[in-house]
Amino acid sequence: MKSPRTLDTRQLQAFEMLVSTGSFTGAAKKLFITQSAVSHSIKNLEESIGCKLLAKQGKKAVPTEAGERLLHAARSWLGEMEKLCDELDGFDRFGAGRLRLGASPKGCQFLLPPIIDQFKLQDPRCRFEVHAGDTPRCLEMLRAGEIDIGITLEPIKENSIEFRPWFQDELKVVLPVGHPWSGKTILNQPDVLKENFILYNRESYTFRIIFDFLRHENIHLPSYLELSSVEATKELVKAGVGIGILADWTVVNEVKNGELTTASLSRRKLTRTWGLSSYKGRLLNPAEDAFARIGEEVGCKWMLNRNI
């Protein structure tokens, strides 16, 4: 069996440039080498392949049939190598050519776009691979190695996950306009006992946060239904089916438009902590670390300027 022949990248570059310019002088100028170096590269390439690659046509060097075949393959290969070098340059400067991250659907809609916009100012070539999922799903993807970082709520009893806090938001009772409690800023327990609540589904972290808070405040909900959709919850509240507990920023427009109003469950705020989760013990590469810093900055500004 014949041993495989290897082709030198510099020789292929010289051959491609010689065909492009039509002369040894032109190729030498483009490649910033001597004319004799171009000639030497072509000679060695022809010897390595075992056939003539160029022919004279007047003063111009043109490819033979074998040369045409090599030229087609060389241009494709050299183009791919140039793209690869660009990607590897991104690794050298930022640590990755892509970012695999998870985020909730609402996070993808509101928080992720300004973070990516800011990040792209630093590295416009970085490719984002975004997987939508709530906090339990993002943590599951982290453990499975399907994503590298996730925008999540603060994990509860997750020893395998490292969490960088970014900001807090507040969960409030959401009421239809005209409800008897409209105008109240804080509800009391007798009020709560009279109403049907609409909550995030019990598989969510928000459901756990709400119930931990209610337990601490000695508030007991006699009746509630669960939904996984914020939009559906808002529509049911408007229709008078019940009252919701939602993040205040998710109802900004409805409150402004006079469709909904909000109140607190107690004097102590019901809050959630958002941040960046990653697998514990895995160091963030430069791109992920930059994303974490930008995310904290953008997230804090976003919460301050959300006009509630």
User: Is CATH 3.30.390.10 what the domain over 169-272 is classified as, yes or no?
Assistant: no
How would CATH label the architecture of 9-94?
A: Orthogonal Bundle (1.10)
Q: What confidence score (pLDDT) does residue 183 get?
A: 78
Rounded Cα distance, 41 and 234, in Å? 71
Rounded Cα distance, 262 and 171, in Å? 10
Q: Which of 39-43, 70-74, 270-274, 280-284 has the highest mean pLDDT?
A: 270-274
With residues binned 3-state (H G I as helix, E B as strand, rest as coil), the percentages for the chain, rounded to 5, are 50, 20, 30
Q: Which fold has domain 98-165+274-304?
A: D-Maltodextrin-Binding Protein; domain 2 (3.40.190)
pLDDT value at 10 more than 70: yes
List every span in the chain annotated with CATH 3.40.190.10.
98-165+274-304, 169-272
pLDDT value at 262 more than 80: yes
- Please report, rounded to a whole number, the percentage of residues in the chain having pLDDT higher than 90: 41
Q: Which two tokens stand for residue 58?
A: 């007047």
Question: Left, alpha or beta for 22 (phi > 0: left; psi -120 to 50: alpha)?
Answer: left
Q: What confidence score (pLDDT) does residue 116 get?
A: 92
| Mean pLDDT, all residues of the chain | 87
**Could you report the per-residue pLDDT of 91-123, keeping only the tens digit for each?**
555 545 678 999 998 888 888 999 999 998 888
